[in-house]
Homo-oligomer: A and B are copies of this chain.
């Protein structure tokens, strides 16, 4: 779920965009019981809110994404939004019809209040003292932003992976404030294997000697080794086995075995590059928190594991989409959501898309996938 997967092209039909900042001075009580006295959310908008305020769409980001969903920045024109292929004039999520909002989640590291922010109580950065936030907390904070923007009801909330969990959660937490939920490459909860991968990534960060119990920023260091390993592990799960085989195979960097631990196979080079790049900009405490938000998400938990019972309160219409080669959140996981919605006689469209790119397929402009998205979004009344 790299926000930079598609960056670098330097082209966007949306043109230049400008991030904005919203301030919330009312305290927010989190699911953990901790309270944030105040917080900021950084966000971007594309298109125009209509007079009826009925065409607003919220795009939720996944693990390493941000509010920068589409367009590019005047002072950094190569930084194109992470879902720019989907969002823009004439694109599947058409900014000539919709008013699209992207927001950096609470606890993020792209400008919204998070571990890198200064704790007003201590005058120091929060670091590890920033409370753990959950999908429910993100949705609550996003609702505050909707209030401030004068959006009573979203025409749609959408996202891929962890972003899809937020779209699903919106339908449960504010059933009257969302007309359509688009849940892409997602799951109703993590499996033990999903949690296991998150746990190894966390242990890589927590055991890095530069982590300093989460207060590395005060010491002017970054747990680079841990972040790098966490990202490498993540990348294996974002790609499919087939795609890795096709992209790298057993291709040797130097055409021969070198019998040392330098890069030999191309796939090693790819992983090291992705790991190094990520460790250069992402915050370790945010990463830890995001993985916990994933682990905790489980709307059926309060219903003895009965997902159908948990989804009974949803009123939105749904598009659920999955990708054939996604082994992180396989199609079977999406079907669980579909069946639970059907059990409640909810309106749900389901697309299982043949795409060899694994979990990261949701970020690509696969023709079938985008046709499904376009058809669904075009039929949403504004």
A residues adjacent to B (C-beta < 8 A) = 32-34, 131-132, 189-193, 195-197, 199-200, 202-204, 206-209, 225, 228-229, 232-233, 235-236, 239, 241, 244-245, 247-250, 257, 259-261, 264-265, 267-268, 271-272, 275, 288, 292, 295-296, 298
With A199-B271, A204-B229, A267-B199 as known contacts, state yes or no: A191 contacts B131, CB within 8 Å: no
| From A132, A232, A244, A259, residue with most partner B Cβ within 10 Å | A259
Q: A229: which B residues are within 8 A, CB to CB? A: 200, 203-204, 207, 229
Can you report 5 A-B residue pairs in the complex whose CB atoms are below 8 A from each other? A131-B259, A191-B241, A191-B245, A196-B244, A229-B229
Other contacts beyond A132-B260, A203-B229, A259-B292: 9, CB < 8 A: A192-B265, A193-B236, A195-B267, A196-B268, A199-B271, A204-B229, A209-B209, A229-B229, A250-B298
With A203-B232, A228-B207, A232-B203 as known contacts, state yes or no: A196 contacts B271, CB within 8 Å: yes
Q: How far is the CA of A196 from the CA of B269 in the complex (A)?
A: 10
Q: Which of B193, B225, B247 is A245 in contact with, Cβ under 8 Å?
A: B193
Residue of B nearest to A209 (CB): B209
Q: How far is the CA of A33 from the CA of B260 in the complex (A)?
A: 13
Q: A32: which B residues are within 8 A, CB to CB? A: 257, 259
With A250-B190, A261-B288, A295-B264 as known contacts, state yes or no: A272 contacts B195, CB within 8 Å: no
Q: Which of B195, B208, B209 is A265 in contact with, Cβ under 8 Å?
A: B195
Q: A245: which B residues are within 8 A, CB to CB? A: 191-193
Q: A190: which B residues are within 8 A, CB to CB? A: 250
B236 touches A196 (CB 8 A): yes
Q: A192: which B residues are within 8 A, CB to CB? A: 241, 244-245, 247-250, 265, 267
A244 touches B193 (CB 8 A): yes
